[in-house]
Amino acid sequence: MFKIKAANIKENIVFSLLYFSFFLVLFFLFLIIGLTFYHSLGTLSWKFILEPPLNGMREGGIFPMIIGTVLVTFLSSLFAIPLGIFSAIYLVEYARDTYYTRLTRLAIRNLSAVPSIVYGLFGLAIFVKTMQFGTSTLSAGLTLGLLTLPTIISTSEEALKIVPKTYKEGAYALGATRWQALYKIILPVAFPGIMTGIILGLSRAIGETAPILFTGVAFYLPHLSLNISQQFMALPYHLYIMSTQHHDIEGVRGIAYATAAVLILLALMLNITASVIRYRFRER
C-alpha cells in the first residue's frame, strides 16, 4: 500500500513538472509575441507592409524586404527539399549499414548544430567566390538551403524509418517493385513526418541573418528586383540594422518592432500552410 502511494506521489510530481514546463514555455512565447505586437501598433499597417522604405529608412514600409525574404526562402526550399528527401530515401532504403553510412548519419546530425555564421562563411567561399555567383539572391538561397538540409534529411529519415515494415512486405507480396512500394506506400505514409522536417528547416531559414549577411543581402536598394543574380533586401537583416546599427535607433524603434511582427506573421503563415498540407496527407 505504501509503495503504491509513493508511486502515485512520484507520478503526480512528474506530471506537475511537465505541466509547469509546458505553461512556462507558453507564457514566454505569448509574452514575446504580445510585446512585439504591442510596440508595433503605432507603425504596423497595410501601408507599412505594401510601401518601400523612405527618408533613410525612417519612413515608408518594408515591401522590398518581404519580397526578398520570400524569394530567398523559396530558392532555399527548391534546393534543400528535393535533395534532403532523396538523401533520406537513399540512407533508409538503399544504403547498407556500414561504418561509412553510420559516419555519414553522424555528420548530418552534427551539421544541424553548426552555427549559422559558419554556413555564411562557407557560402561566401563556395557560392560567392569559387562558383562566381557573387553576392546575390542565388548565393544566399543556396547557403540557406545548406543550412536547412541536415534538418530535412534527419527528420525525413526518421519519418521513413517509423513506417511499419509490414506495409513494404505487403507491397512486395502483391508484386510491387521496390520503387513502386516506396512511391505508392512508404512515402505517402511518411509524408506528414517529412513535412514536419521541412517546416522546421524553413522556419529556421526565414529568420536567419548571418548566412545572408555574407552572401547577398543589402540594407538598402533603390529598386526592387527579382533577378536572382543581384543583391536583395530581407526582413531579418533589416530588423538587425534598425535595432542595433541605425543612427537614430530610438526614432526607428517602432519600425523595428513592426518588422519583427511581420517576420513572425510570415513564419506563422508558412507553418500553417505546411501544417494544412500535412494534415490532409495524414487524413488520406
d(CA 188, CA 281): 7
Instruction: Indicate whether 24 belongs to any domain.
Output: no
Instruction: Indicate whether 131 belongs to any domain.
Output: yes
Instruction: Indicate whether 38 belongs to any domain.
Output: no
Beta strand extents in the chain (DSSP E only): 53-54, 59-60
pTM for the complete prediction?
A: 0.84
Q: Residues 133-141: what's their mean pLDDT?
A: 91
- The range of the structural domain enclosing residue 158 comes to 46-283
The pLDDT, as a whole number, for residue 28 is: 92
Q: Is the pLDDT of residue 1 over 60?
A: no
Instruction: Indicate whether 13 belongs to any domain.
Output: no
- Count other Cβ atoms within 10 Å, centred on residue 101: 13
Residues 224, 64 contacting (CB under 8 angstroms)? yes
Q: Which residue reads 505569448 in cell numbers?
A: 30
Instruction: State percent of the chain over pLDDT 70.
Output: 94
d(CA 198, CA 149): 9
Q: Which of 43-57, 81-95, 143-157 has the lowest mean pLDDT?
A: 43-57
The pLDDT, as a whole number, for residue 3 is: 57
Q: Tell me: the pLDDT tens digits for 230-257?
A: 899 998 988 888 887 766 666 678 888 8
Average confidence score pLDDT of the chain = 85
Instruction: Indicate whether 3 belongs to any domain.
Output: no
SS3 211: helix
More confident residue, 61 or 5: 61
- Tally the domains of the chain: 1
Instruction: Indicate whether 28 belongs to any domain.
Output: no
Residues 203, 190 contacting (CB under 8 angstroms)? no
More confident residue, 179 or 246: 179
Instruction: Indicate whether 34 belongs to any domain.
Output: no
Q: Residues 176-205: what's their mean pLDDT?
A: 83
Domain containing residue 263: CATH number? 1.10.3720.10
d(CA 26, CA 7): 29
Q: How confident is the model at residue 80 (pLDDT cuts 50, 70, 90)?
A: very high
Q: How confident is the model at residue 4 (pLDDT cuts 50, 70, 90)?
A: low
The pLDDT, as a whole number, for residue 41 is: 85
The pLDDT, as a whole number, for residue 227 is: 86
